[in-house]
Structure 1
Amino acid sequence: MQKSLVIVESPAKAKTINQYLGQKYIVKSSIGHVRDLLCGKSKNKEKSKKSVNKIKKNILKSDEKNILIQQIGIDPYHNWKAEYYILPGKEKIISELKKIANEVDRIYLATDLDREGEAIAWHLKEVIGGDSSKFRRVVFNEITKRSIEKAFQNTGHINMNRVHAQQARRFMDRIVGYMISPLLWQKISRGLSAGRVQSVAVRIIAERENIIKNFIPEEYWKLNVSLYSKNKKEITMDVTHNHNKIFRPINRKEVDFSIEKIKKSLCIVHNYEKQILYRRAPAPFITSTLQQSASLRLGFSVKKTMFLAQKLYEEGYITYIRTDSNYLSKHAIERVRTYIKNFYGEDYLPQEPNIYSNREHSQEAHEAIRPSDVRIKDITSGKLNADAKKLYMLIWNQCIASQMTSVKYQSITITVLSDTFKLKKNEKIVLFNGWTSILKEEKNIITEFPILNIGSVLRINKIVCNQNFTKPTPRFSEASLVRELEKKGIGRPSTYASITSKIQEKGYAKIKKNKFYAEKMGEILTVRLKKSFNNLIDYNFTARMEQKLDQVAENKIAWKNVLNSFFKDFSQQLEQAKKSPEEGGMEPNIIVLTSIDCPVCSKKMGIKTAITGVFLSCSGYNSEPKARCKKTINLISLRDFDEKEKKDKKHVSLELVNQCHICNMAMDSYFIHQNLKLHICVNNPSCIGYKLEKGIFKSPTYLSKIIKCEKCHDNMTLKTGPFGKFFICINNTCKNTRKILSNGEISDPKLTPIPFPELLCKKSNAWFVLREGISGIFFAANTFPKSRETRSPLVEELVRFKHLLPEKINHLSSAPIIDNKGNKTIVCFNKKTKEHYIASKKEGKFTDWSAIFINKKWCVFNK
C-alpha cells in the first residue's frame, strides 16, 4: 500500500487531523519552526540569552562587515544571502521526517495558512530534501472532515512570494535588533534592544504617558434640571447651551447665577422629534477584535487569548485564528442562517445574509474567526479548560449575532427653552432587539417615554449641579493598544500578541490594573530613536512597510528591492547615530548630578536610568577601579506606591509642585526616605532639572519593616530588577527573594518544594514534588524540565503524608477526602482571594460540590 506523509506544526493538530485521514496517511508534527537564521559561528549553537548578548557585544567592538555577517546569518552586502541552522532539539524530528519521506510517494506540507506557516513549509522542504516533485502544499481554514477532504482534493505548491514576504520581515527585524542594540548599549544602557515594530508600540505608550504627566485638570460644571410634564412624568434634562453657545461654566459663581435665571424662567418645549433608526449587527471576529473583546468581556490578556484560541483551533472547534478578514464562507453562512431560523425564528433572520467589508490593509483572503460547527454551542470535551470554553462561547455568540437582523429603535430628541438656556434630552426606545438577543448590552433599556406637545410648559422639580474636572486621555490597555496599532496599520494579526508581550519582557512598559504604564527607559529609548532613527518608529513609515510586505506576498514588488531600500536608509542613519552628539549623533544617557552626598565617599550622587529603572548612583563610580565607589540608592516611584495621596491632591496646581524650572515640563516624583523626596524632570537626562523636597513623609509599607529571610533567617535587602522591586537575602549562598506586590505589600514566602518519592508520575519514571506557584500548590515531576508532568494534589494524598506538610498548608489535610457522592476531592486555588479550596471531580469533570476553610473549619457548599 502506497502511503503519504502529512506534516503539521503541532502535535495536537496532528492528532485531530489523524482522525479524519485514512491509513494511507502518516501524520507527523514538526513542533513549530525547525530552523532559523544563523546566530553566531556555530550552526548548532543554542541561542541562549548570554550567547546573543555576546554576539551584540562583538558587533559593538568591530565595524567589519564580515563579522556582522557571521554573527547574524544575513549578508545584506551580497544579495541578502542567508545561512540557516537546525534549531537545537529538532535534529531528531528532522531525522525521523527524512526517514519517513524516503519511504512514501507523496509529502503533504499542511502547516498553517498564514505567511509564517508558508515559511515553515518551505523550511521543511529544504531540510528534508530529495525529489521536489513529491511535495505538495495543503491549506485548510478549519480542522474538520469536510475542510480537510476538500483541501487534499485541491493541493498546490509552496507560494514563494509569501515565503519571501516572511523572510523580508524576518531579515529587517534581525538587522534592526542586532545592529541598533550595540549602539544602545554604548550610548544608553546595557541590555537594551530595539525592534522594528515593538519600538513603535513603545512610542505609542510613551507619548500617551507624556500627555498624562503634563496634563493639568481644568474645572467645569454640569447642570441637570428635573422637570414634570402635565401628566406628572419626570424628565431629567441637561443644560447644553446658553445664548446658542455651548454651556460649560467653570466656577460655582457662574453656576449659581445660571440656576437663579432658570428658576425664574418658564421651561417651554421647543422641539420634540421622533425617528426610527436601525443598528446593524457587528461583524464576526478577526484576530484583533477577538483579542479586544476577550480583554473587555473576559479579562484575558492578548497572550492568553491567542493561546486558548490556538487550542480551540487545534481541537477542531473554530476556524484559523490569525486573520484580518471579515469574510464568511457561503457554507458557513447557510449553516448560521439555518440555526437562527430554527432556534430564534424568522423575525431574527434578515432577508439577505449580512456581508461585511474588509479593512483597508487586510492581508489575507481568509475567513473570519467562527465556530467550525455552529450546532456545537457548549463544549463538553475534558481536553479544554473553563477559560477556553468561555472564549468559544464568545466566538459562537459573535458569529451567530453577525447574521441576525438589526436592532430597531425609536430615537427621541427633546429641546426645552428656558430664558437664554437650551435644555436637551436624547432617549432611545428599543422596538425590536434583533442581534442583542445574543450579545446582551449593559445599557438600561426603556420601553416608553412621555409624549410632549411643542409649546407646553414643564414645571421645575429640582436643579442639580455637579463639579467636574477634565481628565487626560486614558492609558492604553492591551485591547486598546492592539486597536491603536491596527488603526495605524502597524503589525499584523500574527504579531499583536508578541508585540504586547515583548515590550513588557524588555522592561519598556508594564501593565498595572490592566493599563500600560511606560517605564522611564522606554521613554528615553523613544526619544533617542525618534531623533536618530526617525523612520524606524515613524507611524506612517512602519505602516507603509507593512503594505510593501503585503505587495511582496502578492508578487507586485521584489522582496530584495524592499530590503535594499530599507537597508540603505537604515545604514546611513546608523552611521550618523554613532557619532558624538556635537556632530549630530545619538545623545548619551548621562548621569545628572544632584546636591545629595554619597553616604560612603561623600561625592555627589547622580540620577541614573538603567533597564532596572531610575536610581541614584555615586559619581565616584567612574573613578579609577581601585578608588571606584559602587554605592547606589533606590528611588521609590510615588506613581506606583502613593496613588491615594495623589488622588487627594489631584486638583492641586501642578506648576506649584511638580513643574520643572528649566523646561516647564512635569516632574516624576520619587521617595528617598521619610524626610526626603526627589522630583525629576520627565525629560531627564536631556533636561537636568530636579527638585529636592524635605519634610516628613509616609513611607511605602515595605520600607517600614525589617524583612527576615524565611530560609536562613538573615536580613533581606531591597533591589530593583527588570520586573520591578523585590527583596533578596543578603546571604549570597541563599539568594531567596520576595517580590513586592502592586499594592505595596510584600508577597508571602513561597513554599519550599517538598519531595513525595512515594507518589510516582504516570508519564515517566520520575516522582512528584509538591511546589507552590501563582495558582497555589501542585505536584510536579522531580526531573523538571525533562519531564513536565504536573497535576493537582488529591486530599487523600495530603492526609496520607500529613507529616510532610508545613503549617501554612497543614489545614488542607483535614479537608474531606470524598464528596457526598463518594467522588475523590482535589485541592484548587482561587486567584482572586488567593486561597485554597476543595472541589471534587467525576469522570474528569468538576461537580457542583466544593468546600472552603472558614473560621478553622471546612464548610461544604452544593450548587
Structure 2
Amino acid sequence: DFITDRYGPAYYPGQPRHFRKKEGAQDAHEAIRPSNVRLDPESIQADLTREQYRLYKLIWSRFVACQMSDARYDAVQIDARCAGHAFRASDQILKFSGFTAVYEEGRDDEAEERSSSLPDLDGSERLTAEKQEKAQHFTQPPARYTEATLVKAMEERGVGRPSTYASIVATIQDREYVIKKDKRLWPTPLGRVVTELMIERFRDIIDVEFTANMEHQLDEVEAGKVGWKTVLRDFYQDFHREMEDAEKALDGVRIKVPDEETDEVCELCGRKMVIKSGRFGRFLACPGFPECKNTKPLVERMPGRCPRCGSGMLKRKSKKGYVYYACERGAECGFMTWDVPTAQDCPSCGQTMFKKSGRGQMKPFCINEKCPDFLPEDKRGYKRRMPKATTDTVENAEEIAPAAEEAEKKPAKTAKTTKTGKTAKAAKAAKTAKTTKKAAEKKPAARKKTKTESEA
C-alpha cells in the first residue's frame, strides 16, 4: 500500500517478493527492517544525528526497494564502419526507473561509473572520420582488493561469516600485513614474508578450501550432526605434526623482513633511507646501520600548502598518538593544525582550504582570519573546542602537538596549608611520626611481659 500510494501502481509488482536465503547467511544480520515503513527518513531527520539518519536511510531505502518493480532499460547499439574497420558503441537508456527511484547500489570503483549516453542517431546518417588514433593495449593484472571487494571475495569462497568480515579486514590492517592506499589494499613486505612462511609450513591450513570446509564442519556441529570433539581431534593431529616440523626447521633461524627503499636521502651519509618496522610501527632508517644510526618518523605528505610560509604539509603523530598536520619546515615555521588540508584553494584569498578531521564527506573551509570566508573554530563542527595551536611557534617540530596537548591540562593544585602554618603533607608526616613513637614506647613492655610468662 505504501509503494502504491507514494510511487504509483506501476512501481508495485503485484505480489510480495520473496528471496531465497543465502547459504551460511546469519538472519540476525540480514533481517534488519524498519519497524514502520511510513516513517520515511525525511520525516524523522530532525530527531536523528547525521550518522543515525544515514544509517536509517540506507536500511529504509533498501527495504522498500526490494519490494518494488524491476527497472527497465532500452539497449542501444551503434555500429559504424570506417576505413574497413567496424566500430561499435553500446549503451542502455532508462525507460522505467522501478526500484532505482528509491535505492541504487553505490559503485566501489570509479572505473564503473557510466560514461555519457549515446546521442540519438538515424540509421541513414553518415558519420565523418575527423582523425584516426592508434593505441596499443597490454593485458593488465587484476585490480587490487578494496575492503568491499575483499569481503565479496570471501563471501563467494565461503571464508568467514558476516559477523567476522569486519574483524578480518581490520586485523590485517592493524598488524600491517596490508596498507591502504587510494582505497585499495596493498601488501607490505611483512605481509609477504608471513604469507610465504605460512605457504611453506602450513599449506593446508591457509588453503581457501580448508577454511571453507572448516566453516561447514562448524555449521554441522551447531546443527548437532557432528561432535565437536571429533572435529577438533581430526584437525589437531595434522596441525600438531606440522607445528613440530616447523619448530624444528625454524630453530635458530631469524626471518628478515626486506626493507622498502624510499627517495628520502639520509642527511648524515647520503644513502637512500628505507622503511623499517618496529614496536611502535613503521619508521625511516638509514641502511648504513651501525655506522649510521639516523632514523626519522615516517610521515605522509598531504595536499595543499602551509598558510604561513607556503611550504608543503605533512601528516604527523604526537607522542600520545594524536594525528595532526604541520608544515614540512618544522620549527622554522612552527605551523600546525588539527584540521585536514585539502587540494582546494579558497576562491577569495587563494590559500589552502581545510576540512574537519574524521570520516565522511566534510565541507572544506578557510582558516585565514583575514579572509572574508574565514570559518571560526567553534563553527567547524567539532564536538569540543580544539586547542588553538595554529599560531604557536615551538623550537622543535616534534613538540608542536605535545605543546597543544599541554594547553588542555589544568594548572597544578597548590599545597593546602593548615591552621598551624604547615602544609597538609608536612602535618600528615608529623602525625605519622608521633604515632610511630608511641608504638615504639609500648613495645618493650609487651616483650617483657611475654618473656615473664614463658619463664613461669
Alpha-carbon distance in 1 for matches of 2:354, 2:117? 40
CA contact (8 A) 2:316 2:324 kept: no
How big is the shift at 1:433?
1.5
How big is the shift at 1:539?
0.3
CA contact (8 A) 2:341 2:355 kept: yes
Report what 2:8 is aligned to: 345
Report what 2:281 is aligned to: 723
Alpha-carbon distance in 1 for matches of 2:252, 2:157? 28
Report what 1:408 is aligned to: 72
SS in 1 for 2:129: strand
Report what 2:120 is aligned to: 449
How big is the shift at 1:353?
2.4
Show CA shifts across 1:627-675 (max 9, x none): xxxxxxxxx533xxx6xxxxxxxxxxxxxxxxxxxxxxxxxxx977886
Alignment of 1:512-661 (within 5 A): 512-580=181-249, 588-590=253-255, 608-609=256-257, 614-615=258-259, 637-638=261-262
Alignment of 1:93-112 (within 5 A): none
CA contact (8 A) 2:300 2:314 kept: yes
Asked if residue 371 in structure 1 is aligned to residue 28 in structure 2, the reply is no
Alpha-carbon distance in 2 for matches of 1:397, 1:433? 14
Q: Which has the larger radius of gyration?
A: 2
Change (3 A) 1:507 1:384: farther
How big is the shift at 1:537?
0.3
SS in 1 for 2:88: strand
SS in 2 for 1:449: coil
Report what 1:854 is aligned to: 368
Report what 2:88 is aligned to: 424
Alpha-carbon distance in 2 for matches of 1:579, 1:438? 61
Alpha-carbon distance in 2 for matches of 1:553, 1:463? 65
How big is the shift at 1:497?
1.1
Count the aligned residue pairs: 324
SS in 2 for 1:579: helix
CA contact (8 A) 1:637 1:671 kept: no
Alpha-carbon distance in 2 for matches of 1:447, 1:419? 22
Change (3 A) 1:489 1:588: farther
How big is the shift at 1:370?
3.2
How big is the shift at 1:488?
1.1
CA contact (8 A) 1:510 1:518 kept: yes
CA contact (8 A) 1:531 1:586 kept: no
Structure 1 length-normalised TM: 0.33
User: Which letter does structure 2 place at the counterpart of 1:509?
Assistant: V
User: Which letter does structure 1 place at the counterpart of 2:234?
Assistant: S
Alpha-carbon distance in 1 for matches of 2:224, 2:69? 40
Change (3 A) 1:533 1:493: same
User: Which letter does structure 2 place at the counterpart of 1:424?
Assistant: R
CA contact (8 A) 2:317 2:324 kept: no
How big is the shift at 1:344?
1.1
Alignment of 1:185-200 (within 5 A): none
Asked if residue 358 in structure 1 is aligned to residue 21 in structure 2, the reply is yes
Alpha-carbon distance in 1 for matches of 2:316, 2:63? 44
Picking from 721, 741, 746, the partner of 2:300 is 741
SS in 2 for 1:460: coil
CA contact (8 A) 1:482 1:496 kept: yes
Alpha-carbon distance in 1 for matches of 2:277, 2:95? 61
Alignment of 1:65-76 (within 5 A): none
Q: Which 5+ residue runs of structure 2 have no aligned equivalent?
A: 107-112, 286-295, 303-311, 326-333, 343-352, 358-363, 380-456
Alignment of 1:48-197 (within 5 A): none
Alpha-carbon distance in 2 for matches of 1:350, 1:422? 41
Report what 2:56 is aligned to: 392
Report what 1:688 is aligned to: none
Alpha-carbon distance in 2 for matches of 1:511, 1:851? 26
Change (3 A) 1:459 1:448: closer
Report what 1:505 is aligned to: 174
How big is the shift at 1:495?
0.6
Report what 2:144 is aligned to: 475
Q: Which 5+ residue runs of structure 1 have no aligned equivalent?
A: 1-337, 591-607, 616-635, 643-669, 678-698, 704-717, 728-736, 753-771, 777-806, 811-827, 838-849
CA contact (8 A) 2:315 2:324 kept: no
Alpha-carbon distance in 2 for matches of 1:384, 1:506? 36
User: Which letter does structure 2 place at the counterpart of 1:535?
Assistant: D
> How large is the RMSD of aligned CA atoms in angstroms?
4.3
How big is the shift at 1:462?
3.6
Structure 2 length-normalised TM: 0.59
SS in 1 for 2:245: helix
Report what 1:489 is aligned to: 158
Alignment of 1:660-809 (within 5 A): 676=271, 720-725=278-283, 740-741=299-300, 746-747=314-315, 773-774=322-323
Alignment of 1:307-346 (within 5 A): 338-346=1-9
Change (3 A) 1:836 1:534: closer
Change (3 A) 1:503 1:346: same
SS in 1 for 2:21: coil
How big is the shift at 1:522?
1.4
Q: Which moved more, 1:381-390 or 1:408-417?
A: 381-390
SS in 2 for 1:405: coil
How big is the shift at 1:568?
1.3
CA contact (8 A) 2:33 2:63 kept: yes
Show CA shifts across 1:728-772 (max 9, x none): xxxxxxxxx9661255964458599xxxxxxxxxxxxxxxxxxx9
How big is the shift at 1:397?
2.0
Alpha-carbon distance in 2 for matches of 1:382, 1:808? 39
How big is the shift at 1:540?
0.4
Alpha-carbon distance in 1 for matches of 2:213, 2:94? 43
Report % sequence identity: 28
Change (3 A) 1:467 1:390: farther
Alpha-carbon distance in 2 for matches of 1:516, 1:562? 34
Show CA shifts across 1:481-511 (max 9, x none): 1111111110001111111111122222222
Show CA shifts across 1:276-319 (max 9, x none): xxxxxxxxxxxxxxxxxxxxxxxxxxxxxxxxxxxxxxxxxxxx
Alpha-carbon distance in 2 for matches of 1:740, 1:637? 15
Alpha-carbon distance in 2 for matches of 1:404, 1:449? 30
SS in 2 for 1:535: coil
CA contact (8 A) 2:284 2:297 kept: yes
SS in 2 for 1:500: helix
CA contact (8 A) 2:179 2:185 kept: yes
CA contact (8 A) 1:429 1:448 kept: no
SS in 1 for 2:186: strand
CA contact (8 A) 2:301 2:314 kept: no
The structure, 1 or 2, with the larger RCO (C-alpha pairs under 8 Å, 6+ apart) is: 1
CA contact (8 A) 2:180 2:186 kept: yes
Change (3 A) 1:531 1:856: same
User: Which letter does structure 1 place at the counterpart of 2:222?
Assistant: A
Alpha-carbon distance in 2 for matches of 1:586, 1:526? 19
Q: Which moved more, 1:437-446 or 1:563-572?
A: 437-446
How big is the shift at 1:444?
5.5
User: Which letter does structure 1 place at the counterpart of 2:245?
Assistant: Q
Change (3 A) 1:515 1:672: farther
Alpha-carbon distance in 1 for matches of 2:172, 2:277? 22
